[in-house]
Structure 1
Amino acid sequence: MSDPINDLSRRGFLAGAPAAIGTAAPAVPIPASPHASHGIVILIDRNDPHVMGHAISYSANLSKHFASKRQTLPIEVVANGQGIDIFRADRSQLKEPLAAVRQMYPNIAFSMCASSKAIAEAKENITIQLIDGAQLVPFGIGRVAELQMKGWAYIHG
Protein backbone atom coordinates (compact mmCIF):
# COMPACT_ATOMS: atom_id res chain seq x y z
CA MET A 1 0.00 0.00 0.00
CA SER A 2 1.36 3.42 -0.87
CA ASP A 3 2.22 6.07 1.68
CA PRO A 4 0.32 9.30 0.80
CA ILE A 5 2.92 11.57 2.38
CA ASN A 6 5.82 9.99 0.51
CA ASP A 7 3.76 9.89 -2.69
CA LEU A 8 3.30 13.65 -2.40
CA SER A 9 7.01 14.17 -1.78
CA ARG A 10 7.93 12.06 -4.81
CA ARG A 11 5.84 14.36 -6.98
CA GLY A 12 8.43 16.99 -6.16
CA PHE A 13 6.38 19.91 -4.91
CA LEU A 14 7.29 19.27 -1.27
CA ALA A 15 11.04 18.98 -1.81
CA GLY A 16 12.77 21.30 0.60
CA ALA A 17 9.48 22.60 2.01
CA PRO A 18 9.14 23.11 5.74
CA ALA A 19 6.97 20.54 7.43
CA ALA A 20 5.80 22.58 10.38
CA ILE A 21 2.39 21.77 11.70
CA GLY A 22 0.46 24.63 13.26
CA THR A 23 -2.29 24.57 15.78
CA ALA A 24 -5.90 24.47 14.75
CA ALA A 25 -7.18 27.81 13.54
CA PRO A 26 -10.59 29.14 14.48
CA ALA A 27 -13.15 27.84 12.04
CA VAL A 28 -14.92 30.70 10.33
CA PRO A 29 -16.89 30.78 7.09
CA ILE A 30 -14.93 31.80 3.99
CA PRO A 31 -16.81 34.60 2.26
CA ALA A 32 -17.16 34.40 -1.49
CA SER A 33 -14.68 36.77 -3.06
CA PRO A 34 -16.49 39.24 -5.31
CA HIS A 35 -13.31 39.64 -7.37
CA ALA A 36 -12.54 35.98 -7.98
CA SER A 37 -14.56 35.23 -11.09
CA HIS A 38 -12.15 32.50 -12.15
CA GLY A 39 -10.54 29.84 -10.04
CA ILE A 40 -10.43 26.12 -9.44
CA VAL A 41 -12.39 24.20 -6.83
CA ILE A 42 -11.39 20.65 -5.90
CA LEU A 43 -13.90 18.46 -4.04
CA ILE A 44 -12.85 15.68 -1.68
CA ASP A 45 -15.82 13.59 -0.55
CA ARG A 46 -14.18 10.27 0.32
CA ASN A 47 -12.02 9.21 3.24
CA ASP A 48 -9.36 7.70 1.01
CA PRO A 49 -5.73 8.81 1.62
CA HIS A 50 -4.84 8.12 -2.02
CA VAL A 51 -7.66 10.36 -3.30
CA MET A 52 -6.83 13.02 -0.71
CA GLY A 53 -3.16 12.96 -1.64
CA HIS A 54 -3.99 13.39 -5.30
CA ALA A 55 -6.30 16.32 -4.59
CA ILE A 56 -3.60 18.12 -2.62
CA SER A 57 -1.04 17.34 -5.31
CA TYR A 58 -3.45 18.67 -7.96
CA SER A 59 -3.83 21.94 -6.08
CA ALA A 60 -0.07 22.48 -5.79
CA ASN A 61 0.61 21.44 -9.38
CA LEU A 62 -2.15 23.71 -10.69
CA SER A 63 -0.73 26.59 -8.69
CA LYS A 64 2.74 25.94 -10.16
CA HIS A 65 1.31 25.59 -13.67
CA PHE A 66 -0.43 28.96 -13.60
CA ALA A 67 2.52 30.62 -11.85
CA SER A 68 4.71 29.50 -14.78
CA LYS A 69 2.33 31.52 -16.97
CA ARG A 70 2.62 34.47 -14.59
CA GLN A 71 -0.93 33.96 -13.34
CA THR A 72 -2.15 33.57 -9.78
CA LEU A 73 -5.39 31.66 -9.69
CA PRO A 74 -7.38 31.07 -6.50
CA ILE A 75 -7.73 27.38 -5.72
CA GLU A 76 -10.01 25.98 -3.04
CA VAL A 77 -10.01 22.40 -1.78
CA VAL A 78 -13.41 21.59 -0.29
CA ALA A 79 -13.87 18.58 2.01
CA ASN A 80 -17.40 17.23 2.25
CA GLY A 81 -19.01 14.10 3.74
CA GLN A 82 -16.45 11.43 4.62
CA GLY A 83 -13.73 13.56 3.01
CA ILE A 84 -13.61 15.89 6.02
CA ASP A 85 -11.00 13.66 7.65
CA ILE A 86 -8.35 15.37 5.52
CA PHE A 87 -8.79 18.60 7.50
CA ARG A 88 -9.44 17.03 10.92
CA ALA A 89 -6.60 17.72 13.37
CA ASP A 90 -7.20 14.35 15.07
CA ARG A 91 -7.29 12.19 11.93
CA SER A 92 -5.55 13.81 8.97
CA GLN A 93 -2.73 11.69 7.60
CA LEU A 94 -1.59 14.67 5.51
CA LYS A 95 -0.94 17.38 8.13
CA GLU A 96 2.66 17.98 7.08
CA PRO A 97 2.03 18.12 3.32
CA LEU A 98 -0.99 20.38 3.89
CA ALA A 99 1.08 22.73 6.06
CA ALA A 100 3.77 22.86 3.37
CA VAL A 101 1.22 23.54 0.62
CA ARG A 102 -0.35 26.31 2.68
CA GLN A 103 3.03 27.94 3.20
CA MET A 104 4.25 27.55 -0.39
CA TYR A 105 0.99 28.47 -2.16
CA PRO A 106 -1.02 31.16 -0.36
CA ASN A 107 -3.57 31.14 -3.20
CA ILE A 108 -4.81 27.70 -2.04
CA ALA A 109 -7.62 27.63 0.52
CA PHE A 110 -8.89 24.63 2.51
CA SER A 111 -12.60 24.42 3.38
CA MET A 112 -14.55 21.90 5.43
CA CYS A 113 -18.30 21.40 5.29
CA ALA A 114 -19.77 22.57 8.61
CA SER A 115 -22.78 20.31 8.14
CA SER A 116 -20.60 17.20 7.69
CA LYS A 117 -18.52 18.29 10.69
CA ALA A 118 -21.65 18.63 12.86
CA ILE A 119 -22.88 15.19 11.80
CA ALA A 120 -19.50 13.61 12.64
CA GLU A 121 -19.38 15.44 16.00
CA ALA A 122 -22.85 14.19 16.94
CA LYS A 123 -22.05 10.64 15.85
CA GLU A 124 -18.68 10.54 17.67
CA ASN A 125 -19.74 12.73 20.62
CA ILE A 126 -16.63 14.94 20.29
CA THR A 127 -15.67 18.43 19.16
CA ILE A 128 -13.65 18.25 15.97
CA GLN A 129 -10.70 20.62 15.64
CA LEU A 130 -9.52 21.62 12.18
CA ILE A 131 -5.92 21.61 10.98
CA ASP A 132 -4.20 24.97 10.77
CA GLY A 133 -5.48 26.96 7.81
CA ALA A 134 -8.71 25.06 7.22
CA GLN A 135 -11.94 26.95 7.59
CA LEU A 136 -15.60 26.05 7.67
CA VAL A 137 -18.18 26.70 4.98
CA PRO A 138 -21.86 26.09 5.75
CA PHE A 139 -22.31 23.32 3.15
CA GLY A 140 -19.41 21.83 1.18
CA ILE A 141 -21.41 20.94 -1.89
CA GLY A 142 -23.08 24.37 -1.75
CA ARG A 143 -19.64 25.99 -1.76
CA VAL A 144 -18.65 23.96 -4.83
CA ALA A 145 -21.86 24.95 -6.64
CA GLU A 146 -21.45 28.61 -5.64
CA LEU A 147 -17.92 28.73 -7.05
CA GLN A 148 -18.93 26.93 -10.26
CA MET A 149 -21.71 29.47 -10.76
CA LYS A 150 -19.03 32.19 -10.58
CA GLY A 151 -17.09 30.52 -13.39
CA TRP A 152 -14.64 28.38 -11.40
CA ALA A 153 -13.43 25.10 -12.90
CA TYR A 154 -14.41 21.98 -10.95
CA ILE A 155 -12.21 18.97 -10.23
CA HIS A 156 -13.45 15.97 -8.30
CA GLY A 157 -10.58 14.62 -6.17
Structure 2
Amino acid sequence: MINLKLAMAAMAMLLLVGSDAQAELDNQFNPHSSATNQVSNPKQPGRQAQASKPGQTRTSKQSPATRAAMAQATKPEIAKKPHQLILQVNSNDPAMMNLTLNNASNVAQYYRDLGEPVSIEIVTFGPGLHMLRDDTSPVKPRIEVLAMSNPEISFKACGNTQENMRKTESKDINLIPQATVVKSGVVRVMELQEQGWSYVKP
Protein backbone atom coordinates (compact mmCIF):
# COMPACT_ATOMS: atom_id res chain seq x y z
CA MET A 1 0.00 0.00 0.00
CA ILE A 2 2.80 2.33 0.82
CA ASN A 3 4.57 1.50 -2.40
CA LEU A 4 1.44 2.30 -4.37
CA LYS A 5 1.17 5.74 -2.74
CA LEU A 6 4.83 6.47 -3.49
CA ALA A 7 4.40 5.44 -7.09
CA MET A 8 1.38 7.72 -7.51
CA ALA A 9 3.23 10.66 -5.93
CA ALA A 10 6.16 10.14 -8.25
CA MET A 11 3.89 10.14 -11.28
CA ALA A 12 2.23 13.36 -10.12
CA MET A 13 5.63 14.98 -9.75
CA LEU A 14 6.63 13.92 -13.25
CA LEU A 15 3.43 15.31 -14.72
CA LEU A 16 3.94 18.65 -12.93
CA VAL A 17 7.54 18.95 -14.04
CA GLY A 18 6.60 18.00 -17.57
CA SER A 19 3.88 20.70 -17.84
CA ASP A 20 6.26 23.36 -16.53
CA ALA A 21 8.94 22.31 -19.01
CA GLN A 22 6.44 22.42 -21.86
CA ALA A 23 5.32 25.86 -20.80
CA GLU A 24 8.97 27.03 -20.81
CA LEU A 25 9.48 25.64 -24.29
CA ASP A 26 6.28 27.31 -25.46
CA ASN A 27 7.50 30.65 -24.14
CA GLN A 28 10.78 30.28 -26.04
CA PHE A 29 9.30 29.35 -29.38
CA ASN A 30 5.94 31.13 -29.24
CA PRO A 31 5.87 33.97 -31.88
CA HIS A 32 3.14 35.73 -29.91
CA SER A 33 5.61 38.26 -28.49
CA SER A 34 6.75 39.47 -31.91
CA ALA A 35 3.14 39.70 -33.07
CA THR A 36 2.33 41.73 -29.97
CA ASN A 37 5.21 44.10 -30.75
CA GLN A 38 3.95 44.60 -34.27
CA VAL A 39 0.46 45.32 -33.02
CA SER A 40 1.74 47.80 -30.43
CA ASN A 41 3.71 49.68 -33.15
CA PRO A 42 1.50 49.55 -36.23
CA LYS A 43 3.38 52.42 -37.98
CA GLN A 44 6.66 50.58 -38.15
CA PRO A 45 5.77 48.26 -41.08
CA GLY A 46 4.58 51.31 -43.02
CA ARG A 47 7.90 53.04 -42.49
CA GLN A 48 9.80 49.97 -43.55
CA ALA A 49 7.67 49.63 -46.64
CA GLN A 50 8.11 53.32 -47.41
CA ALA A 51 11.85 53.18 -46.91
CA SER A 52 12.14 50.14 -49.15
CA LYS A 53 9.77 51.43 -51.82
CA PRO A 54 11.56 51.19 -55.18
CA GLY A 55 12.43 54.36 -57.11
CA GLN A 56 12.70 56.53 -54.00
CA THR A 57 15.97 58.18 -53.00
CA ARG A 58 16.72 59.90 -49.74
CA THR A 59 18.29 63.34 -49.94
CA SER A 60 20.93 64.23 -47.39
CA LYS A 61 20.97 67.64 -45.77
CA GLN A 62 23.66 70.07 -47.01
CA SER A 63 25.65 72.25 -44.69
CA PRO A 64 25.56 76.06 -45.17
CA ALA A 65 29.19 76.00 -46.33
CA THR A 66 28.36 73.42 -49.01
CA ARG A 67 25.36 75.42 -50.22
CA ALA A 68 27.46 78.62 -50.36
CA ALA A 69 30.21 76.87 -52.34
CA MET A 70 27.68 75.48 -54.82
CA ALA A 71 26.04 78.89 -55.22
CA GLN A 72 29.42 80.55 -55.80
CA ALA A 73 30.35 77.94 -58.41
CA THR A 74 27.15 78.54 -60.38
CA LYS A 75 27.17 82.32 -59.95
CA PRO A 76 28.02 84.18 -63.20
CA GLU A 77 31.10 86.32 -63.10
CA ILE A 78 30.30 90.02 -62.79
CA ALA A 79 32.29 92.38 -64.95
CA LYS A 80 34.42 94.87 -63.00
CA LYS A 81 33.19 98.46 -63.08
CA PRO A 82 35.67 100.69 -64.92
CA HIS A 83 37.49 103.44 -63.07
CA GLN A 84 36.79 106.91 -64.51
CA LEU A 85 38.92 110.01 -63.98
CA ILE A 86 38.63 113.63 -65.14
CA LEU A 87 41.77 115.79 -65.24
CA GLN A 88 41.22 119.51 -65.82
CA VAL A 89 43.65 121.96 -67.43
CA ASN A 90 42.67 125.64 -67.48
CA SER A 91 46.09 127.30 -67.37
CA ASN A 92 48.69 127.95 -70.07
CA ASP A 93 51.42 126.63 -67.81
CA PRO A 94 53.73 123.95 -69.24
CA ALA A 95 54.48 122.64 -65.74
CA MET A 96 50.79 122.08 -65.04
CA MET A 97 50.31 120.42 -68.42
CA ASN A 98 53.21 118.02 -67.79
CA LEU A 99 51.92 117.29 -64.28
CA THR A 100 48.53 116.41 -65.75
CA LEU A 101 50.13 114.08 -68.29
CA ASN A 102 52.19 112.47 -65.51
CA ASN A 103 49.07 111.86 -63.44
CA ALA A 104 47.19 110.41 -66.40
CA SER A 105 50.07 108.11 -67.31
CA ASN A 106 50.54 106.91 -63.72
CA VAL A 107 46.85 106.15 -63.21
CA ALA A 108 46.61 104.30 -66.52
CA GLN A 109 49.66 102.19 -65.67
CA TYR A 110 48.42 101.47 -62.14
CA TYR A 111 45.13 99.95 -63.29
CA ARG A 112 46.74 98.23 -66.25
CA ASP A 113 48.98 96.37 -63.81
CA LEU A 114 45.89 95.37 -61.81
CA GLY A 115 44.09 94.23 -64.94
CA GLU A 116 41.21 96.64 -64.24
CA PRO A 117 39.61 98.94 -66.83
CA VAL A 118 40.10 102.70 -66.57
CA SER A 119 39.04 105.73 -68.60
CA ILE A 120 40.86 109.04 -68.24
CA GLU A 121 39.67 112.27 -69.84
CA ILE A 122 41.81 115.42 -69.91
CA VAL A 123 39.51 118.41 -70.38
CA THR A 124 41.00 121.76 -71.40
CA PHE A 125 39.32 125.16 -71.46
CA GLY A 126 40.29 128.82 -71.12
CA PRO A 127 44.07 129.37 -71.38
CA GLY A 128 44.47 125.63 -70.90
CA LEU A 129 43.35 125.09 -74.52
CA HIS A 130 46.95 125.91 -75.55
CA MET A 131 47.80 122.40 -74.42
CA LEU A 132 45.86 121.05 -77.43
CA ARG A 133 46.55 123.81 -79.93
CA ASP A 134 48.59 122.61 -82.88
CA ASP A 135 50.59 125.86 -83.09
CA THR A 136 51.23 126.65 -79.40
CA SER A 137 51.17 123.37 -77.43
CA PRO A 138 54.36 122.94 -75.37
CA VAL A 139 53.57 119.27 -74.85
CA LYS A 140 52.46 118.23 -78.35
CA PRO A 141 55.24 115.65 -78.90
CA ARG A 142 54.58 114.07 -75.54
CA ILE A 143 50.83 113.83 -76.16
CA GLU A 144 51.48 112.04 -79.46
CA VAL A 145 53.58 109.37 -77.73
CA LEU A 146 51.25 109.08 -74.73
CA ALA A 147 48.13 108.68 -76.86
CA MET A 148 49.71 105.87 -78.88
CA SER A 149 50.60 103.79 -75.81
CA ASN A 150 47.58 104.71 -73.66
CA PRO A 151 44.29 104.47 -75.58
CA GLU A 152 42.39 104.84 -72.29
CA ILE A 153 43.48 108.52 -72.17
CA SER A 154 41.46 111.00 -74.22
CA PHE A 155 41.77 114.76 -74.73
CA LYS A 156 38.85 117.19 -74.88
CA ALA A 157 39.03 120.81 -76.08
CA CYS A 158 36.46 123.44 -75.17
CA GLY A 159 34.62 124.64 -78.26
CA ASN A 160 33.65 127.95 -76.63
CA THR A 161 37.30 128.73 -75.85
CA GLN A 162 38.36 127.76 -79.38
CA GLU A 163 35.77 130.15 -80.85
CA ASN A 164 36.79 133.00 -78.54
CA MET A 165 40.46 132.56 -79.49
CA ARG A 166 39.51 132.54 -83.17
CA LYS A 167 37.74 135.87 -82.75
CA THR A 168 40.54 137.37 -80.68
CA GLU A 169 43.36 136.25 -82.99
CA SER A 170 41.36 136.57 -86.19
CA LYS A 171 42.43 133.14 -87.41
CA ASP A 172 41.37 129.54 -87.26
CA ILE A 173 42.56 127.70 -84.17
CA ASN A 174 43.72 124.26 -85.25
CA LEU A 175 44.03 121.49 -82.70
CA ILE A 176 46.32 118.47 -82.53
CA PRO A 177 44.87 115.23 -84.00
CA GLN A 178 44.44 113.66 -80.54
CA ALA A 179 41.98 116.38 -79.45
CA THR A 180 38.19 116.12 -79.61
CA VAL A 181 36.06 119.29 -79.41
CA VAL A 182 33.21 119.50 -76.87
CA LYS A 183 30.75 122.40 -76.71
CA SER A 184 31.89 123.56 -73.28
CA GLY A 185 34.81 122.29 -71.23
CA VAL A 186 33.21 123.28 -67.92
CA VAL A 187 29.91 121.62 -68.85
CA ARG A 188 31.82 118.48 -69.90
CA VAL A 189 33.47 118.27 -66.47
CA MET A 190 30.13 118.79 -64.75
CA GLU A 191 28.34 116.14 -66.82
CA LEU A 192 31.05 113.55 -66.21
CA GLN A 193 30.90 114.22 -62.47
CA GLU A 194 27.15 113.71 -62.56
CA GLN A 195 27.81 110.33 -64.18
CA GLY A 196 30.07 109.32 -61.28
CA TRP A 197 33.51 110.20 -62.67
CA SER A 198 36.23 111.23 -60.21
CA TYR A 199 37.46 114.80 -60.64
CA VAL A 200 41.03 115.97 -60.07
CA LYS A 201 42.35 119.46 -60.65
CA PRO A 202 46.17 119.75 -60.68
Q: TM-score range by the shorter chain?
A: 0.7 to 0.9
What's the offset of the Cα at 1:68? 1.2
**2:122/2:156 contact within 8 Å kept:** yes
Q: Deviations over 1:43-69 (max 9, x none)?
A: 000000000110011111110011111
Partner residue in 2 for 1:96: 141
TM-score by length of 1: 0.75
State which of 146, 165, 168 in structure 2 corresponds to 1:123: 168
Change (3 A) 1:119 1:37: farther
State which of 142, 146, 158 in structure 2 corresponds to 1:113: 158
| Structure with the greater alpha carbon radius of gyration | 2
Partner residue in 2 for 1:50: 95
Q: Percent sequence identity over matched residues?
A: 28
Q: 3-state DSSP class of the match of 2:127?
A: helix
Does residue 1:155 correspond to 2:200, yes or no? yes
Q: 3-state DSSP class of the match of 1:75?
A: strand
What's the offset of the Cα at 1:110? 0.3
- Distance in 1 (CA, whole Å) between partners of 2:136 and 2:161 is 15
Partner residue in 1 for 2:188: 143
Q: Which has the higher helix share?
A: 2
What's the offset of the Cα at 1:123? 0.4
| Structure showing greater relative contact order (alpha-carbon pairs closer than 8 Å, 6 or more residues apart) | 1
Moved over 3 A (4+): none
**2:133/2:176 contact within 8 Å kept:** yes
Q: 3-state DSSP class of the match of 2:103?
A: helix
- Distance in 1 (CA, whole Å) between partners of 2:109 and 2:136 is 28
**Number of matched residues?**
122
Does residue 1:62 correspond to 2:107, yes or no? yes
Does residue 1:76 correspond to 2:121, yes or no? yes
What's the offset of the Cα at 1:38? 4.4
**2:82/2:117 contact within 8 Å kept:** no
Partner residue in 2 for 1:87: 132
**1:38/1:150 contact within 8 Å kept:** no
Q: Which runs of 5+ in 2 are unaligned?
A: 1-80
Q: Deviations over 1:110-134 (max 9, x none)?
A: 0000001100110000101111110
- Distance in 2 (CA, whole Å) between partners of 1:152 and 1:53 is 22
Q: What amino acid is aligned across from residue 137 of structure 1 in structure 2?
A: V
RMSD over equivalenced CA pairs, Å:
1.2
Q: Which runs of 5+ in 1 are unaligned?
A: 1-35
What's the offset of the Cα at 1:75? 0.4
